[in-house]
Structure 1
Amino acid sequence: MIKIVTVSSKKELASFIDFPHDLYEGDPNYVPELFIAQRDLLTIHPFHKHNKVQPFLAYDGDKIVGRIAAILNNAHNQYNHKNDGFFGFFDCIDSTEVSNLLFDVVTGWLKNKGITGQLLGPVNFSTNEPCGLLIKGFDSPAFLMNTYNKPYYASLIESYGFGKDVDLIAWHWDGQEYDDKSVRLLNSLEERLKRSNIIIRKVNLKKFKEEAAKLREVYNSAWDSNTGFVPLTDEEFDYLAKDLKLILDPDFALVAEQNGKIVAFGLALPNYNEIFQKIKRGRLLPTGIFKLLFGKKNIQSIRIYALGVIDGYRKMGIEACLYGTIIREYKAKGFKHAEAGWTLEHNDMVNRAIEAIKGDPYKTYRLYQKAI
């Protein structure tokens, strides 16, 4: 008989975090999340100050067979004038009995919180964090801060009555197989921008706190029309920026600035999942920390994590300059793979631009919805 347990203790939380390691054992494309990062995300992340998250575990006897988290995102509902709930951290054996019970408990929990709209997911906790169910591209590991799951998850979710909300696309380049037009035109594009007093520069890590405050404004403005977008609070953005600072390469952290005002930024990150994949059960101690410290120089790929331009500055060539600079550095550093995204399936302007530089839409993630 399947039993659902409300996670409330440190031991149960550790079991919640560790369950995927057992479920995906032997899967060559599985990348374990770092335990300390997941623990902090689920306990001390600033998201919890204004919202609620409740993890659940499914047991068959003494064996864990599934997990899920119910997410009450008050900021999303206030910003989008909705009364929706979310599910995330979904992992499950191939059993509709188990998955249905997990979705039942999330639905009941959200109803008790007064939610009457849609149940959306998977998100961990919103589209600002890893989100979406992988439905295409199971033949390779996910890049940094993207998700991976077993192919049967889609049938478990859809059998409960969920339908498609929107698809998210990840784009790939192999080796030097890209159109470098933006690199060849980089000097002329930058000269044209300078006539409008716009320059492209690297993020100043020595003044990172000041830079982060300006970048937060751009982030919350440039992505505000995206499906499911929720503005990050100051604390949430600072939490994200602090984590990103630990892993970013300053040559891939770029801003466009006009008279001291940041109007766009582009950020590509070394794909640390190449290292995380080798850290057993996501534990940095006793040996994982050395893999992390010494593995950085061997990373072969990057993920273009974010590229945004605020309204009023689009279609000026800023996007092309940011992409061109990232491609130039990618080539100079000898990386072998790159991923961009995700992008929304209906964002035609961005998707056409990526297609123009020969991006391959190699992975698709889906967000689902169901009336509560």
Structure 2
Amino acid sequence: MKKIVPVNSKKELGAFIDFPHDLYKNDPNYVPELFIAQRDLLTIHPFHKHNSLQAFLAYDGDKIVGRIAAILNNSHNEHNHSNDGFWGFFDCINDQETADLLFQTAAKWLKEKGITKKFVGPVNFSTNEACGLLIKGFDSPPVLMMTYNYPYYIDLIENANFEKQIDLIAWHWDGDGYDDKSVRLLTALQERLKRNNIVIRKVDLKNFKSEVAKVRQVYNSAWDQNSGFVPFTDEEFDYLAKDLKLILDEDFVYVAEQNDKIVGFGLALPNYNEIFQKIKRGRLLPTGIFKLLLNRKKIKSIRIYALGVIDGYRKMGIEACLYGSIIREYKRKGLQHAEAGWTLENNVLINEAIIAIKGDPYKTYRIYEKDI
């Protein structure tokens, strides 16, 4: 007999984090999340100071067969003038009854918290974190901080009466299969920007705290009109920046600055999933840490994680300079694969810019919704 159990203990939390490792043990494209990172995300992340989450496990007898988290994101509802509830961290065997029980339990918890509008997911907090169900592009592993799931999840979710809210697109380039026009024109574009006192430079890691504060303002401004956007609190952005600093390659972090004011930034990250895929059950100890340290210089791909320019500075060539600077370093380092993702399907400006440099829309992720 199937039952749903709320996650309230350390042991249950460990089982919640570990369940996907068993579910995907025979899938060659699965990449385990680091246990310590998932534990901290679910327990001590600043998100929990002004929002709430309840994780649930589905059992069939003594065996775990599914998981889900019900997420009350007050920040989203305040910013978007809504009253929506969210679900994330969803994993399930190919069984509709189990999936339905998980969705019903999460929805019930949210209703008890006063949610009356939409039930939205998958989002692992908000669109600032991992989100979206993979619906196209199952033939390769996910890159860093992107989601992955079995194809049958589409049926489990749609059979539970969820409908598409919006699609997210991930783009890629293999080897030198990109248009390097932005690299060839980089010097000329930068000279043109200098006439407006705008310079493109690498981030200053020695003044990281100050740089982060300026970039946070750009992020919250440049992404503000995106569907479902939730602005970072100062503490949330600092938490993310602290984590990213551990894996940054300063050759892939650029800002556009005018008179000491950052007006845009571009950030690409080494694809550490190449290493995480080899770390059993996401455990850094006892041997995972050595795989991480010994293989970090062997990474052959990057993810263009974020690239944005604030309103009033767009279409001046800043975006092309940021892309060009990242592509130039990608080329110089002889890397083999790059992904830009994700972008909203309705973000015509950025999507046309990516198509212009021969970006291939090779993966699609979907966020679903239904009335709660």
* Shorter-normalised TM range: over 0.9
The alpha-carbon deviation at position 50 of structure 1 amounts to 0.2
Q: Equivalents in 2 of 1:348, 1:218: separation in Å?
A: 20
Q: Equivalents in 1 of 2:10, 2:341: separation in Å?
A: 34
Equivalent in the alignment of 1:38: 38
Look up the equivalent residue of 1:167 and give its one-letter code: D
The alpha-carbon deviation at position 185 of structure 1 amounts to 0.3
Q: Equivalents in 2 of 1:341, 1:282: separation in Å?
A: 23
The alpha-carbon deviation at position 287 of structure 1 amounts to 0.2
Look up the equivalent residue of 1:251 and give its one-letter code: D
Look up the equivalent residue of 2:21 and give its one-letter code: H
Look up the equivalent residue of 2:298 and give its one-letter code: N
The DSSP-based 3-state class of the residue aligned with 1:247 is coil
The DSSP-based 3-state class of the residue aligned with 2:267 is strand
**Is 1:208 aligned to residue 208 of structure 2?**
yes
The alpha-carbon deviation at position 204 of structure 1 amounts to 0.5
Equivalent in the alignment of 2:80: 80
The alpha-carbon deviation at position 149 of structure 1 amounts to 0.2
The DSSP-based 3-state class of the residue aligned with 1:36 is helix
Equivalent in the alignment of 1:301: 301
**Is 1:227 aligned to residue 204 of structure 2?**
no
Equivalent in the alignment of 2:145: 145
The DSSP-based 3-state class of the residue aligned with 2:328 is helix
**Is 1:16 aligned to residue 13 of structure 2?**
no
Trace 1:92-111 onto structure 2 (pairs within 5 A). 92-111=92-111
Q: Equivalents in 1 of 2:253, 2:349: separation in Å?
A: 23
Q: Equivalents in 1 of 2:155, 2:27: separation in Å?
A: 20
Equivalent in the alignment of 2:130: 130
Equivalent in the alignment of 1:343: 343
The DSSP-based 3-state class of the residue aligned with 1:131 is coil
The alpha-carbon deviation at position 367 of structure 1 amounts to 0.2
TM-score (norm 1): 1.00
The alpha-carbon deviation at position 361 of structure 1 amounts to 0.2
Equivalent in the alignment of 1:250: 250
Q: Equivalents in 1 of 2:291, 2:219: separation in Å?
A: 32
Q: Equivalents in 2 of 1:235, 1:351: separation in Å?
A: 31
Q: Equivalents in 2 of 1:220, 1:357: separation in Å?
A: 26
Q: Equivalents in 2 of 1:254, 1:41: separation in Å?
A: 27
Equivalent in the alignment of 2:27: 27
Q: Equivalents in 2 of 1:310, 1:367: separation in Å?
A: 26
Q: Equivalents in 1 of 2:347, 2:244: separation in Å?
A: 26
Equivalent in the alignment of 1:288: 288
Q: Equivalents in 1 of 2:210, 2:351: separation in Å?
A: 32
Q: Equivalents in 1 of 2:290, 2:228: separation in Å?
A: 38
Equivalent in the alignment of 2:237: 237
Q: Equivalents in 2 of 1:238, 1:346: separation in Å?
A: 29
The alpha-carbon deviation at position 280 of structure 1 amounts to 0.1
The alpha-carbon deviation at position 103 of structure 1 amounts to 0.3
Q: Equivalents in 2 of 1:149, 1:160: separation in Å?
A: 17
**Is 1:360 aligned to residue 339 of structure 2?**
no
Q: Equivalents in 2 of 1:326, 1:79: separation in Å?
A: 32
Equivalent in the alignment of 2:327: 327
Task: Give unmatched runs, 5+ long, in structure 1.
Answer: none
Identity %: 78
Look up the equivalent residue of 1:325 and give its one-letter code: S
The DSSP-based 3-state class of the residue aligned with 2:106 is helix
Equivalent in the alignment of 1:310: 310
Q: Deviations over 1:326-346 (max 9, x none)?
A: 000000001000000100001
Equivalent in the alignment of 1:117: 117
Q: Equivalents in 2 of 1:349, 1:263: separation in Å?
A: 17
Equivalent in the alignment of 1:156: 156
Q: Equivalents in 2 of 1:41, 1:121: separation in Å?
A: 17
Q: Equivalents in 1 of 2:61, 2:33: separation in Å?
A: 26
The alpha-carbon deviation at position 26 of structure 1 amounts to 1.4
TM-score (norm 2): 1.00
Equivalent in the alignment of 2:180: 180
The alpha-carbon deviation at position 175 of structure 1 amounts to 0.4
Equivalent in the alignment of 1:275: 275
The DSSP-based 3-state class of the residue aligned with 2:94 is coil
Q: Equivalents in 2 of 1:183, 1:216: separation in Å?
A: 27
Q: Equivalents in 1 of 2:302, 2:217: separation in Å?
A: 25
Q: Deviations over 1:60-91 (max 9, x none)?
A: 01100000000000000000000000000000
Q: Deviations over 1:234-254 (max 9, x none)?
A: 000000000000001001010
Paired residues in the alignment total 372
Cα root mean square deviation, aligned? 0.3
Q: Equivalents in 1 of 2:314, 2:171: separation in Å?
A: 21
Task: Give unmatched runs, 5+ long, in structure 2.
Answer: none
Q: Equivalents in 1 of 2:295, 2:370: separation in Å?
A: 42
